[in-house]
């Protein structure tokens, strides 16, 4: 027999293998075209903005290009004491170019983000330069130092040096209350300014407890919804969904009216003699208020996935469990509960992720503890216009959520999540 295997040909003489591949490729292209709109949508609305945020958070080229001579002459400066005449002179020459281009304001803004106080002294220097008050035949160092006392402070020159690299991790360090000092060592900021770590912890704490409370309250409701006859469960469903259709601010404000010290709930407690009039408990403008309001607002996100999973569990399973000798609790724990885990996973992840980015409600009802990391992001977006810092914190928040997702995958398995 011949060792050659004969190629199988199709009717038009093309080898079958190639013909098949061709057909398959067509299908693949068709399939790809079908998902292309979604893919494009994801790239445009998700991947791309995140990439943009990332470049923003590390890109510091603007100032590197603004002060080229200054940074060059600073290379040999050890950053311990005031820099030499040469550094001052090159700073002035860089600054003069910026003044000509009308970009000195941008420099002031950028430097003020690095260290507060630059705004005024840069503007004072600008006025001196504009009036040609600085005599370049004299010591420039002496003259700049005379403009404002902060120019005599080495910390401000150290701050300038810190902005030299075109790419920087400084924003990420700042979000952890740290910075790179003049010896390139990671250092903590002074104690009375260490606020970001407190805010991160507080944010996670609030999100965690809100998730727990949502679970504790949502589970029985979802169970009731899934087991009641249709006509009652529909009514109950509307009650669960109603908050969805009410404005967030209205709901928050209602809780304020209900729970404040002179509020409806406290009035009722006093009326029935539970507490005395001058000893009303504080349930608003503290963490209690935050937990209550946020739990109510996020509850539907827990109930709905739980409900849709519970709806698919046949009631006969519990009966079977009991008929096999289990007490109601054992039957619930061994049979029903494990079957609801996919819903629990979905609900908890949903609530946690939503809660971690919440900030309007806590700001209104949380009192002294009402500031969360998202408030800080909004502050830098809107007020200081430090978008790179805001981006860095936003990405860290996203990273945190991804870590939780990963942990969940390790512990429970993501394919276990079910929304319905």
Binding-site ranges for other proteins (CB under 8 A) = 44, 48, 51-52, 55, 102, 105-106, 108-109, 112-113, 116-120, 192-195, 198-199, 202, 257, 260-263, 285, 363-364, 367-371, 379, 381-387
**Would you say 113 or 223 has its CB closer to other proteins?**
113
**Would you say 141 or 202 has its CB closer to other proteins?**
202
CB of 113 to other proteins, least distance (A): 7
**Would you say 85 or 282 has its CB closer to other proteins?**
282
CB of 264 to other proteins, least distance (A): 10
**Would you say 118 or 301 has its CB closer to other proteins?**
118
CB of 135 to other proteins, least distance (A): 27
CB of 300 to other proteins, least distance (A): 25
**Would you say 45 or 139 has its CB closer to other proteins?**
45
**Would you say 72 or 150 has its CB closer to other proteins?**
150
CB of 311 to other proteins, least distance (A): 39
CB of 82 to other proteins, least distance (A): 21
**Would you say 1 or 368 has its CB closer to other proteins?**
368
CB of 35 to other proteins, least distance (A): 21
- The 3-state secondary structure of the chain reads CCCCCCCCECCCCCEHHHHHHHHHHHHHHHHHHHHHHHHHHHHHHHHHHHHHHHHHHHECHHHHHHCHHHHHHHCCCCCCCCCCHHHHHHHHHHHHHHHHCCCHHHHHHHHHHHCCCHHHHHHHHHHHHHCCCCCCCCCHHHHHHHHCHHHHCHHHHHHHHHCCCCECCHHHHHHCCEEECCCCCEEECCHHHCCHHHHHHHHHHHHHHHHHHHHHHHHHHHHHHHHCCHHHHHHHHHHHHHHHHCCHHHHHHHHHHHHCCCCHHHHHHHHCCCCCHHHCCCCCCCHHHHHHHHHHHHHHHHHHHHHHHHHCCCHHHHHHHHHCCCCHHHHHHHHHHHHHHHHHHHHHHHHHHHHHCCCHHHHHHCHHHCCCHHHHHHHHHHCCCCHHHHHHHHHHHHHHHHHHHHHHHHHCCHHHCCCC
**Would you say 201 or 216 has its CB closer to other proteins?**
201
CB of 364 to other proteins, least distance (A): 6
């Amino acid at each position: 027999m011949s060792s050659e295997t004969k190629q199988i040909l199709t009717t038009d003489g093309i080898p079958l293998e190639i013909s098949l591949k061709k057909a398959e490729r067509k299908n693949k292209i068709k399939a790809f075209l079908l998902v292309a709109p979604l893919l494009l949508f994801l790239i445009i609305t998700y991947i791309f903005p995140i990439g943009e945020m990332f470049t923003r958070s590390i890109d510091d080229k603007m100032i590197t290009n603004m002060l080229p001579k200054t940074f060059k002459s600073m290379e040999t400066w050890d950053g311990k004491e005031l820099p030499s005449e040469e550094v001052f002179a090159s700073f002035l020459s860089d600054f003069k170019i910026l003044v000509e281009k009308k970009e000195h304001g941008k420099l002031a803004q950028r430097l003020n983000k690095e260290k507060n106080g630059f705004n005024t002294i840069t503007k004072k220097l600008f006025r001196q330069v504009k009036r040609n008050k600085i005599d370049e035949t004299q010591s420039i160092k002496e003259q700049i130092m005379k403009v404002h006392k902060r120019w005599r402070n080495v910390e401000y020159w150290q701050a300038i040096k810190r902005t030299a690299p075109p790419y920087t991790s400084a924003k990420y360090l700042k979000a952890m209350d740290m910075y790179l000092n003049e010896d390139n060592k990671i250092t903590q900021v002074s104690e009375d300014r260490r606020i970001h770590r407190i805010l991160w912890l507080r944010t996670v704490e609030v999100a965690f407890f809100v998730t727990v409370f949502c679970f504790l309250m949502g589970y029985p409701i979802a169970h009731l919804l899934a087991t009641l006859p249709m006509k009652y469960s529909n009514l109950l469903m509307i009650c669960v969904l109603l908050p969805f259709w009410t404005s967030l601010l209205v709901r928050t404000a209602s809780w304020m009216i209900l729970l404040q010290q002179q509020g409806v709930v406290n009035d009722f407690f006093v009326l029935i003699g539970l507490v005395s009039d001058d000893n009303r408990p504080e349930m608003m403008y503290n963490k209690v208020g935050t937990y209550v309001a946020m739990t109510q607002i996020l509850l539907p996100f827990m109930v709905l996935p739980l409900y849709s999973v519970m709806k698919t569990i046949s009631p006969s399973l519990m009966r079977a469990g009991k008929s096999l000798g289990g007490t109601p609790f054992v039957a619930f724990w061994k049979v029903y509960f494990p079957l609801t885990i996919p819903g629990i996973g979905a609900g908890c992840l949903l609530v946690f992720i939503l809660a971690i980015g919440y900030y309007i409600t806590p700001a209104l009802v949380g009192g002294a503890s009402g500031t969360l990391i998202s408030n800080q992001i909004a502050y830098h977006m809107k007020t200081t216009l430090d978008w790179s810092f805001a981006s860095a914190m936003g990405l860290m928040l996203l990273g945190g959520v991804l870590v939780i997702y990963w942990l969940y995958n390790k512990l429970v398995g993501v394919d276990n999540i079910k929304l319905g």
